[in-house]
């Protein structure tokens, strides 16, 4: 049995008025399993549970350490604390979880957590947290997938297994928080719930040369004159009174923005993520030497990217630079800001000058007839083409900045039927050569 541990293992002050020692167990700290057992102790001063190391490497010694500490502190089971835990409702615990997550996660993640309120509250309601069981969570996920939850959570469409599994992941995070805070009087119920299966978890899309050409043509679409037949109001624009007679007129439709085509080429021929592309600056590459020099702060892998640049990307960036110069020489239209080439082409300036393509890219995909093609699919297509070109996996992972080969194989590579046919034909040829060398007849 180890000696009593007087300070918190993470450097906090010594706890006062300790009560209710939990069951000793090993913890996972920074991805590694602890060698000693920890004991969860409720601290009334902090109003929550904290972990204390027992410095014991066996369960028997850790249990004996717990008994010794309880005798030293003169403490027994805290019945008042147990009764307080029994009264905590699901909604109250959910509100405390939101307060704890606010400021600790990004805005998108927090909106995702807050968006589950209408689903969780409609099903679990104001029931006590201790009453939530694994069968109740399974039934909730089943109804969630069918879109038949009661109350405000009712939906009209069948959800995918991926959406339901994301919901389960958030539920597990929530119950893990409740377990750490001491709100659960029994085992975490979400750990006994399995993920849903059904459709494949991965979604792979690759482009054929024809699809790529259609997408790039849609991204380079010029402004055009379109004929519109609708009701016009007094201002001469669409949207007149319902009693008005429809009229027909010609109107100039906007083309695709200049930056869209080179951004798509960077994703398709360099495998760059959308966030990296929008954060690119002119100093991050050299089109003459065809080299990327992307710093770690704008990459997801948090590593510098210094790799060669394909000819297609270099040509697209040079054409984009010339298009900016040409566009700056055109007369400025009413309500349009002039292009300042000194600022736009400065080394520290953003290459494309935008941070979001949430409208222009989906519109181009729709025009090209490639519905459902996300921008990240361009990166998947780049990775698949590297494998098709027999690029060694370690060098392909260096170009795509992947750390785990399993991630590449699971989410990025797609095997085509014609590739399998070629592989089988190659195997037949190898077997025929082997039989011929051995003198065995076919």
C-alpha angle with apex 114: 133 to 170, nearest 5 degrees? Answer: 40
Boundary-marking domain end, from 77, 103, 120: 77
315 with 370, same domain: the answer is yes
245 in a domain, yes or no? no
Q: How far is CA 203 from the centre of its chain?
A: 14
pLDDT score for 337: 79
188 in a domain, yes or no? yes
Q: 361-380 burial, b if ≥16 CB within 10 A, otherwise e?
A: bebbbeebebeebebebbbb
Contact 287, 318 (CB under 8 A): yes
Instruction: Identify the CA nearest to 180 among candidates 40, 77, 12.
Output: 40
Boundary-marking domain end, from 150, 167, 192: 192
Instruction: Identify the CA nearest to 205 among candidates 120, 131, 260, 268.
Output: 268
162 with 279, same domain: the answer is no
Give backbone dihedrals phi and psi of 262, rounded to 5 degrees, phi first. Answer: -65, -30
Tell me the range of 153-162, 182-191, 220-229 where mean pLDDT is highest: 182-191
Quickly count: other Cβ atoms within 10 Å of residue 264's Cβ.
Answer: 25
pTM: 0.52
Contact 206, 414 (CB under 8 A): yes
98 with 139, same domain: the answer is yes
Q: In this model, does residue 83 exceed pLDDT 50?
A: yes
Contact 13, 43 (CB under 8 A): no
89 CB-contact burial (10 Å; exposed 0-12 / middle 13-18 / buried 19+): middle
Q: What is the mean pLDDT of residues 208-236?
A: 74
Q: What is the pLDDT of residues 351-363, one digit of tens each?
A: 998 888 888 899 8
Q: In this model, does residue 108 exceed pLDDT 70?
A: no
pLDDT score for 107: 61
User: 169 vs 413, which has greater pLDDT?
Assistant: 169
Q: What is the mean pLDDT of residues 369-393?
A: 86
CATH code for the domain of 310: 1.10.443.10
pLDDT score for 6: 37
All residues at 6 or more sequence positions from 97 whose CB lies less than 8 Å from its CB, including other chains: 113, 174, 177, 178
37 with 162, same domain: the answer is no
Q: In what order do the strands lie in the sheet with 38-43?
A: 19-21, 38-43, 48-53
Please, what is the end-to-end C-alpha distance for the chain in angstroms?
Answer: 74
384 in a domain, yes or no? yes
42 with 111, same domain: the answer is no
DSSP class of 39: E
Q: What is the pLDDT of residues 271-326, one digit of tens each?
A: 999 999 999 999 999 988 999 999 988 888 888 888 899 999 999 999 999 999 98
Q: 21-43 burial, b if ≥16 CB within 10 A, otherwise e?
A: beebeeeeeeeeebebbbbbbbb
pLDDT band at 95 (very low <50, low <70, confident <90, very high): confident
**DSSP H helical ranges for 199-349:** 209-219, 260-270, 274-278, 311-328, 341-344
**DSSP H helical ranges for 329-404:** 341-344, 360-368, 375-388, 393-400
292 in a domain, yes or no? yes
120 with 56, same domain: the answer is no
221 in a domain, yes or no? no
* Lowest-confidence region among 21-35, 163-177, 229-243, 413-427: 229-243
Report the chain's mean pLDDT, rounded to a whole number.
Answer: 77
pLDDT score for 322: 92
273 in a domain, yes or no? yes
416 in a domain, yes or no? no
Q: What is the mean pLDDT of residues 28-53?
A: 78
Q: 52 is in which domain, residue-wise?
A: 19-77
Q: Which long-range contacts (CB under 8 A, 24 or more apart) does 179-182 make?
A: 180/49, 181/48, 181/49, 181/96, 182/20, 182/40, 182/42, 182/48, 182/49, 182/85
Tracing tokens 């034909």 back to the chain, one arrives at: 425
Q: What is the C-alpha to C-alpha distance for residues 236 and 224, in angstroms, rounded to an integer?
A: 19
280 with 157, same domain: the answer is no
pLDDT score for 386: 87
CATH code for the domain of 186: 1.10.150.130
Q: What is the mean pLDDT of residues 397-408?
A: 83
Indicate the number of domains in the chain: 3
Q: In this model, does residue 156 exceed pLDDT 60?
A: no
317 with 342, same domain: the answer is yes
pLDDT score for 18: 44
pLDDT score for 262: 94
40 in a domain, yes or no? yes
In 223-274, which ranges are E strands? 224-230, 247-253
Tell me the range of 79-83, 153-157, 198-202, 407-411 where mean pLDDT is highest: 407-411
pLDDT score for 370: 86
72 with 117, same domain: the answer is no
32 with 164, same domain: the answer is no
Q: What is the C-alpha to C-alpha distance for residues 277 and 263, in angstroms, rounded to an integer?
A: 7
309 with 185, same domain: the answer is no
pLDDT band at 396 (very low <50, low <70, confident <90, very high): confident
pLDDT above 70 covers a percentage of the chain that reads 73
187 with 113, same domain: the answer is yes
């Amino acid at each position: 049995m180890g000696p009593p541990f007087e300070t918190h293992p993470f450097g906090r002050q010594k706890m006062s008025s300790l009560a209710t020692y939990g069951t000793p167990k090993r913890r996972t700290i920074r991805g590694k399993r602890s060698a000693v057992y920890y004991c969860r102790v409720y601290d009334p001063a902090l109003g929550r549970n904290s972990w204390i190391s027992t410095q014991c490497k066996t369960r028997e010694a850790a249990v004996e350490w717990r008994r010794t500490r309880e005798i030293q502190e003169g403490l027994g089971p805290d019945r008042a604390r147990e009764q307080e835990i029994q009264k905590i409702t699901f909604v109250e615990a959910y509100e405390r979880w939101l307060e704890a997550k606010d400021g600790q996660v990004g805005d998108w993640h927090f909106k995702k957590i807050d968006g589950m309120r209408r689903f969780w509250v409609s099903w679990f309601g104001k029931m006590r947290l201790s009453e939530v069981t694994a069968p109740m969570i399974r039934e909730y996920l089943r109804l969630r997938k069918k879109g038949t939850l009661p109350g405000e959570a009712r939906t009209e469409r069948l959800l995918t297994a991926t959406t339901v599994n994301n919901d389960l992941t958030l539920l597990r995070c929530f119950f893990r928080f409740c377990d750490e805070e001491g709100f659960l009087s029994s085992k975490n119920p979400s750990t006994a719930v399995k993920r849903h299966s059904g459709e494949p978890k991965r979604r792979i899309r690759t482009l054929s040369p024809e699809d790529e050409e259609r997408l790039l043509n849609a991204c380079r679409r010029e402004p055009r004159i379109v004929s519109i037949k609708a009701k016009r109001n007094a201002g001469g624009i669409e949207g007149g009174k319902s009693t008005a007679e429809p009229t027909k007129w010609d109107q100039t439709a906007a083309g695709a923005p200049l930056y869209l085509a080179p951004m798509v080429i960077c994703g398709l021929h360099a495998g760059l993520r959308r966030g990296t592309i929008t954060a690119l600056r002119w100093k991050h590459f050299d089109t003459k030497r065809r080299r990327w020099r992307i710093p770690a702060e704008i990459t997801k892998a948090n590593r510098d990217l210094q790799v060669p640049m394909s000819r297609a990307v270099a040509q697209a960036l040079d054409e984009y630079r010339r298009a900016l110069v040409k566009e700056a020489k055109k007369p400025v239209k009413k309500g349009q800001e002039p292009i300042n080439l000194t600022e736009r082409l400065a080394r520290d300036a953003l290459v494309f000058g935008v941070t979001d393509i949430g409208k222009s890219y989906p519109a181009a995909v729709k025009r090209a007839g490639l519905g459902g093609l996300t921008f990240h699919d361009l990166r998947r297509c780049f990775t698949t083409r590297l494998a098709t070109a027999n690029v060694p996996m370690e060098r392909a992972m260096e170009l795509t900045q992947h750390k785990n080969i399993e991630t590449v194989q699971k989410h990025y590579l797609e095997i085509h039927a014609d590739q399998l046919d070629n592989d089988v034909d190659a195997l037949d040829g190898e077997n025929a050569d082997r039989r011929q060398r051995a003198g065995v007849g076919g």
